[in-house]
Amino acid sequence: MTTEARIITTPARAMIRRWPTLVVLAFVWIGLCIVAAALAPRLPVSYQTLDLRARLAPPVLFGGTWHHALGTDEVGHDVFSRLLASIRVSLSVALAGTLIGSTFGTTLGFLAAHFRGWVDDVVMMLADAQAAIPFIIVALTIIAFFGTSLALFVVVVGLYGWQTYARLARAMALSTTRRGYVRAVVALGARPMRVYLRHVLPNVAGVLIVNATIGFPEVILLETALSFLGLGIQPPLSSLGSMLSYGRSYLDSAWWIAVLPGIVLSLCTLSVSLIGDWVRDRLDPTLR
Amino acid sequence: MDATYVILRKCLRALLTLWIVVSLTFVVLRSAGDPAITILGTDATPATIAEFHHQWGLDRPLPVQYVVYFANILHGDFGASFLDGRPALTVVAERIPRTLQLSGLGLLLMLSIGIPAGVAAALNRGRALDRVIVAGAVMGHSVPSFFLAILLILLFSVRWRLLPSGGAVAAHTIIMPAITIAAGGTGVIARFTRAAMLDALRQPFVRAVQARGLGWSRVVRTHVMPNAAIPTVTMIGFLLGGLVAGAVITETVFAWPGIGWLIVTSVARRDLAVVQCIVLLVASTMVLANLTVDLLYVWLDPRMRAPAPEDA
């Protein structure tokens, strides 16, 4: 490429550079998954419907029929329907978890920045302690003591990574509240609640959203891992993790039950990581 | 004064973290209802419950209970597993060697594949080898370990019947669990080493020593790699956390009789004394490991010997 060509870039070329193929594919895949999750309850065949005449039917390209495009399990449940239902549950739990974690962590971070003193010390001490222990151990302990209800499980998944939000929110709030406009709002008599929600939060939101995107694959993995271990989503609900765990018993006779959710899951975490890296790079001018 | 001060400060922080973890388990234990019933089970007789209350000081005021709880744990008394009534610590201790075997081999694999791959990628930046290594590293990190485990079982146990799908019966049964536990970390190490190497290669001193006539391979070995080693060492501290999480999943999939499998079965059975024992054991191991990494860092990088400035 000549120097001239590099300087004068057409809009199309600039667009290609800004939207690498892999990132576009990642967005397409995530879009497909969201559509699948939305359509799951409207499917003609529920994943709990038995089709006893078509037990252990293989997927279409492996000798199966379009009637069960992705095959069936040993009692004739349709794998495609269960896959969509599982995508729906896994994505919803991960999304709810991320919202809970970011809200909880950000609130603690703001409280630490606002009150300083012992509140700050306690929050930072808890964040350090949390960072020192693998989260899956914390999650297992809470589940051991309090049981496996769906609501509690979502909260447990939500607690993942709260300390990164707390640290970020605290640091950014400390630097933002020193700025002139925040001081002006405070001098005008705004209550702390208003200052943090209306003036500090919009300024730190970008960083928190990037953090959430980068942490999202780990939240999906936490949910699916716990469900895989039988300690997360309980039947009759199905998650990608519990589907994989169920398919483990049929590796001899019906590999597709375990392999299909595994492929979907890997593509999801890969796509979200690609998008997360791309968003971070775009927002960080030092990396350009 | 400064080096000792930094080390003392780090040790104090480690102790503080441990104290918080023990206190939090106390809070969880107390808020989950009567610990006698949660630990002994609902079918415990009133006499055993009364004895438990007395042993753990639950018939005394809360602050005293807290002290007794702490003292019991310091004496290694975590209560008994209600599965067979043996002390929880004994049940857990039996499983430790298996977990050490598996995670030791896993860590060895991660380092012996990840570091050379990262160095090779950095030295061939932008070429095909670099792309292959980076793509492999991203894949290793994105494929969930339990799916990788299932793929390995499907290929090596079901299709080709080369390796057993679980248990710890012969030496070669460790192969698939070790690959599973190492895959994610190898990817992380390779990417991290690559980034650290690229960073070191960009430093002006590299050009300076080259200008003095030092051969390229010597520059890399004696000047670039030691500088890239510093951030990589901190990374290993983080990886230990990943090894623990990996052990939980890998051991359960492959029926490897270590601590990870034990905690999953204990959580499912509500064997709380064992769960609590494992949590405290893992927490103290992690804190000690992080402390070691921190001290190693101080030793590797003289700049760290100055006391850290207070963060605002």
What average pLDDT is seen over chain A? 82
- Quick check: B304 contacting A, CB < 8 Å? no
The sign of the torsion formed by the CA atoms of B114, B116, B117, B118 equals: positive
* A23-32, A212-221, A242-251: range with highest mean pLDDT: A23-32
- Mean pLDDT computed over every residue of chain B: 82
Residue A78 bridge partners (DSSP): A72
What are the structural domains of chain B? Answer: 97-259 (1.10.3720.10)
Task: Quick: pLDDT tens for B152-172.
Answer: 998 888 888 778 777 766 777
Angle of CA points B115, B116, B121, to nearest 5°:
100
A141-154 pLDDT, tens digit each: 888 778 778 888 99
Three-state SS for B80? strand
Which chain A residues have a beta carbon less than 8 Å from that of B155?
A: none
Choosing among B22, B147, B181, which should be mutated to test the A contact, i.e. which has the most A CBs within 10 A?
A: B147
Kindly report, residue by residue over A129-144, the tens digit of the pLDDT: 887 788 888 888 888 7
- ipTM over 0.85? The verdict is no
Query: Shortest CB distance from B275 goes to which of A135, A141, A258?
Result: A141
B150 to chain A nearest CA, in Å?
7
Q: Are B17 and B305 in contact (CB under 8 A)?
A: no
Are B290 and A230 inside 8 Å of each other by CB? no
Mean pLDDT, residues A117-127 taken together: 85
What is the DSSP-derived secondary structure letter of residue B60? S
Question: What residues in A contact B88, CB-CB < 8 Å?
Answer: none
Q: Which of A134, A231, A252 sits opposite B282 (nearest CB)?
A: A134
- pLDDT for B306 beyond 70: no
Q: Quote the pLDDT of residue A32.
A: 93
pLDDT (0 to 100) of residue A40: 79
Q: CA nearest A112: which of A124, A126, A130?
A: A124
What percent of chain A shows pLDDT beyond 90?
17
Give the integer Cα–Cα distance in Å for B141 and B134: 11
Determine the average pLDDT of the residues in A249-278. 87
B260 close to B275: Cβ distance less than 8 angstroms: no
pLDDT confidence band for B250 (50 / 70 / 90): very high
End-to-end CA distance of chain A: 20
Q: By percentage, how much of chain B surpasses pLDDT 90?
A: 15
The tens digit of pLDDT for each residue in A171-196 reads 888 888 788 888 888 888 888 888 88
Chain A residues near residue B282 by CB distance under 8 angstroms: 133-134, 137
Per-residue pLDDT of B274-302, as tens digits, reads 888 888 888 888 888 888 877 877 777 66
Residue A284 binned pLDDT confidence (cut-offs 50, 70, 90): low
B283·A137 Cβ contact <8 A: yes
